[in-house]
Protein backbone atom coordinates (compact mmCIF):
# COMPACT_ATOMS: atom_id res chain seq x y z
CA UNK A 1 0.00 0.00 0.00
CA UNK A 2 1.38 3.40 -0.96
CA UNK A 3 1.81 6.15 1.64
CA UNK A 4 -0.91 8.20 -0.07
CA UNK A 5 -3.38 5.29 0.06
CA UNK A 6 -2.61 4.75 3.75
CA UNK A 7 -3.19 8.43 4.48
CA UNK A 8 -6.54 8.42 2.65
CA UNK A 9 -7.61 5.30 4.49
CA UNK A 10 -6.89 6.96 7.85
CA UNK A 11 -8.77 10.12 6.87
CA UNK A 12 -12.01 8.30 6.19
CA UNK A 13 -14.55 8.55 3.43
CA UNK A 14 -17.50 10.81 2.64
CA UNK A 15 -20.71 10.00 0.80
CA UNK A 16 -21.71 13.05 -1.23
CA UNK A 17 -25.19 13.13 -2.77
CA UNK A 18 -26.55 15.77 -5.13
CA UNK A 19 -29.90 16.95 -3.75
CA UNK A 20 -30.61 20.02 -5.90
CA UNK A 21 -30.20 20.96 -9.55
CA UNK A 22 -27.26 22.98 -10.83
CA UNK A 23 -29.52 24.90 -13.23
CA UNK A 24 -29.52 28.62 -12.48
CA UNK A 25 -26.08 28.56 -10.87
CA UNK A 26 -22.82 29.92 -12.30
CA UNK A 27 -20.85 27.72 -14.70
CA UNK A 28 -18.16 27.28 -12.04
CA UNK A 29 -20.69 25.36 -9.93
CA UNK A 30 -21.44 22.97 -12.80
CA UNK A 31 -17.73 22.32 -13.28
CA UNK A 32 -17.24 21.52 -9.59
CA UNK A 33 -20.23 19.15 -9.56
CA UNK A 34 -19.48 17.26 -12.76
CA UNK A 35 -15.70 17.23 -13.10
CA UNK A 36 -14.62 17.65 -9.50
CA UNK A 37 -17.14 15.62 -7.56
CA UNK A 38 -18.42 13.33 -10.32
CA UNK A 39 -22.08 14.25 -9.84
CA UNK A 40 -24.45 15.04 -12.66
CA UNK A 41 -28.02 14.43 -11.62
CA UNK A 42 -30.15 14.69 -8.51
CA UNK A 43 -29.90 11.60 -6.32
CA UNK A 44 -26.49 10.46 -7.56
CA UNK A 45 -23.99 9.63 -4.81
CA UNK A 46 -20.23 9.27 -4.84
CA UNK A 47 -17.78 8.07 -2.20
CA UNK A 48 -14.68 10.27 -1.94
CA UNK A 49 -11.81 10.54 0.55
CA UNK A 50 -12.24 13.06 3.36
CA UNK A 51 -9.37 15.42 2.58
CA UNK A 52 -8.91 19.19 2.11
CA UNK A 53 -9.26 18.88 -1.68
CA UNK A 54 -12.68 17.24 -1.42
CA UNK A 55 -13.79 19.55 1.40
CA UNK A 56 -12.88 22.57 -0.73
CA UNK A 57 -15.10 21.38 -3.57
CA UNK A 58 -17.95 20.71 -1.14
CA UNK A 59 -17.54 24.24 0.24
CA UNK A 60 -18.24 25.63 -3.26
CA UNK A 61 -21.60 23.83 -3.55
CA UNK A 62 -23.02 23.23 -0.04
CA UNK A 63 -26.50 24.28 -1.16
CA UNK A 64 -26.64 21.52 -3.79
CA UNK A 65 -25.22 18.49 -1.97
CA UNK A 66 -25.61 16.55 1.25
CA UNK A 67 -22.54 15.09 2.93
CA UNK A 68 -22.35 12.23 5.40
CA UNK A 69 -19.53 10.04 6.67
CA UNK A 70 -19.23 6.67 4.93
CA UNK A 71 -18.28 3.51 6.78
CA UNK A 72 -17.45 0.36 4.83
Confidence of residue 4 (pLDDT cuts 50, 70, 90): low
Question: What pLDDT score was predicted for residue 6?
Answer: 63
Q: Evaluate if pTM is beyond 0.85.
A: no
CA distances from 52 to 3, 8, 49 (A): 17, 11, 9
Q: Please check the confidence at residue 13 and state whether its pLDDT lies above 70.
A: yes
In the chain, the domains with their CATH numbers are 3-70 (3.30.1390.20)
Across the range 5-23, mean pLDDT stands at 84
More confident residue, 47 or 10: 47
Question: What pLDDT score was predicted for residue 72?
Answer: 79
Amino acid sequence: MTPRARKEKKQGLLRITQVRSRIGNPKKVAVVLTRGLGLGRIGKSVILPDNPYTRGMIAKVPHLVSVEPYEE
